[in-house]
Amino acid sequence: MTLIKGSDITLGYEGQGILSGLSFSVNDGDYLCIVGENGSGKSTFIKTVLGLVEPIKGKIEYCGGLKKNEIGYLPQISGIQRDFPSSVMEVVLSGCLNRHRGFFYTAGEKRKAREQLVRLGMEDRISSSFQELSGGQHQRVLLARALMATEKLLFLDEPVSGLDPKTTSELYEMLRELNGAGITLMMVTHDIHPALNDARTILHFSHSGYFFGTKEEYFNSEPGKEFMKEAGHDN
């Protein structure tokens, strides 16, 4: 079942196109890695899929009952986010604000937030200050926050940026488990490892165009071979 479909899209801002002719689809249970050159349209693609900007041409369709406000989004973490003066529980609960009605969180929302923290091994830090956490713990909490918004699809932007190798490995394992449990993943990354090990499909952006296809097709393509070479996997 298709969840998101893009048809003949031109990405850009204020009428200035970055990339044109983009068509892609994301299916239920997919693990899509989005890779490619800096400045080639990845950030604009994120904003377009999330409905924050409109494509200059073409359209994005949300299918299979998925709505724009039901995409869980994990952005790149910044220093400002790390210093956010809230408890872990408050940060996670804020993930349901786009669908929340009223001034107070419901008992069901609080129960779901606790379940997500337990799921990600953060149950012992529920009352902790977000500021006190390590980088890996920050990402677990923000991942729990993203899961509050969705039952279907997570969109992650460079989720392991700045993390040490051990924490990176642990985060990839959590994502693997979430995907195995039925959560569809879309992930922007510069890291070759998830593309090699876990992805089912690849969307590659470059200044000369794009590639969209299966992982096997990608690594037999010219963009895939070049990506592998740049990552030191050219044999």
Q: Give the model's pLDDT for residue 205.
A: 93
164/77 Cα distance (integer angstroms): 15
Which stretches of 37-164 are DSSP H helices? 42-49, 79-82, 88-93, 107-119, 135-147
Answering whether pTM is above 0.85, one says yes
- Enumerate the domain spans of the chain: 85-149
Q: Where are the beta strands (DSSP E) in the chain?
A: 2-13, 16-27, 31-36, 57-62, 71-74, 153-157, 184-188, 201-206, 209-214
Average pLDDT, the chain: 89
Average pLDDT over residues 144-148: 93
Task: State the helix-helix crossing angle for 135-147 and 165-180, rounded to 10 degrees.
Answer: 20
At 202, list the tokens.
Answer: 């690849």
For the chain, give me the number of helices (H) and strands (E)? 9, 9
The pLDDT tens digits of the residues spanning 104-133 come to 788 999 999 999 999 999 999 999 999 899
Q: Give the model's pLDDT for residue 85.
A: 74
Q: Give the model's pLDDT for residue 101.
A: 61
CA-nearest of 131, 145, 55, 56 to 92 is: 145
Amino acid identity at 51:
G
